[in-house]
Chain A
Amino acid sequence: EAQVTQNPRYLITVTGKKLTVTCSQNMNHEYMSWYRQDPGLGLRQIYYSMNVEVTDKGDVPEGYKVSRKEKRNFPLILESPSPNQTSLYFCASSLYASGGYNEQFFGPGTRLTVL
């Protein structure tokens, strides 16, 4: 089954404790992206990757890191989480970088709480 998976689905952590949210897709997609969803703000892009070893900042990259060492995986790293990073996070992928022709497939979401 074609899908985007994220782990963990739920995470409660404390300020400053490094964490990684994994994202994996099995569709051989080139383009992958991370979003955060906050009440009243909709979804905002954090980082995106157009292909292996190619990553770039989205609208709200501060406090986050990503890597794209393999095509299928695009982990989101919070080196020192803070309470303002409490949010619902979505990973997405699409076939090509120019996403207009391609539907973006979204993962199920990761709900992160930073105390």
Chain B
Amino acid sequence: AQKVTQAQTEISVVEKEDVTLDCVYETRDTTYYLFWYKQPPSGELVFLIRRNSFDEQNEISGRYSWNFQKSTSSFNFTITASQVVDSAVYFCALLNSGNTPLVFGKGTRLSVIA
């Protein structure tokens, strides 16, 4: 069975602070894909990153960075120098290879206060 756990339901930070959103996944497959999506207050889902299970390199995109560690089954997301526009719900998701559904975590609501 596959499962995604985002233990942090809500996080509140002051602007310019760094914040890390945790994502822990469970899967029996050796080939799988991990995603992060952002859902701003307007409601749409915005794709942020995809990572496959064979690529453990960390990735940085501007103020965003992702730390993928297979040893701990985690795919954490860090926002550096947070801004008010980062306020959103962030979802981590897991997709096994083959014909399986994309499984989402329950999301973490991030509030960045000016």
Q: In the complex, A104→B93 CA distance in Å? A: 11
B50 at the interface (CB under 8 A from A): yes
Taking CB atoms, residues of chain A closer than 8 Å to B52 are 100
Of the candidates A41, A48, A108, the one whose C-beta lies within 8 Å of that of B106 is A41
Type the 1/0 row for B82-101, where 1 means its CB is closer than 8 Å to any CB of A. Answer: 00000000010101011101
Sample (13) of A-B pairs whose CB atoms are under 8 Å apart: A35-B104, A42-B91, A42-B104, A59-B101, A88-B43, A90-B45, A97-B99, A98-B97, A100-B50, A100-B95, A103-B50, A104-B102, A106-B47
Taking CB atoms, residues of chain A closer than 8 Å to B44 are 106, 108-109
User: Is B102 a contact of A99 with CB atoms below 8 Å?
Assistant: yes
Binding site for A on B (CB under 8 A): 31-33, 35, 37, 43-45, 47, 50, 52, 91, 93, 95, 97-99, 101-107
Q: In the complex, A90→B50 CA distance in Å? A: 19
- Interface centre among A41, A56, A58, A104, by most chain B C-beta atoms within 10 angstroms, is A104
- Interface centre among A42, A98, A106, by most chain B C-beta atoms within 10 angstroms, is A42
User: Is B101 a contact of A104 with CB atoms below 8 Å?
Assistant: no
Given known contacts A42-B91, A108-B44, is B104 in contact with A100 (CB within 8 Å)? no
Given known contacts A100-B95, A103-B50, A106-B44, is B32 in contact with A45 (CB within 8 Å)? no
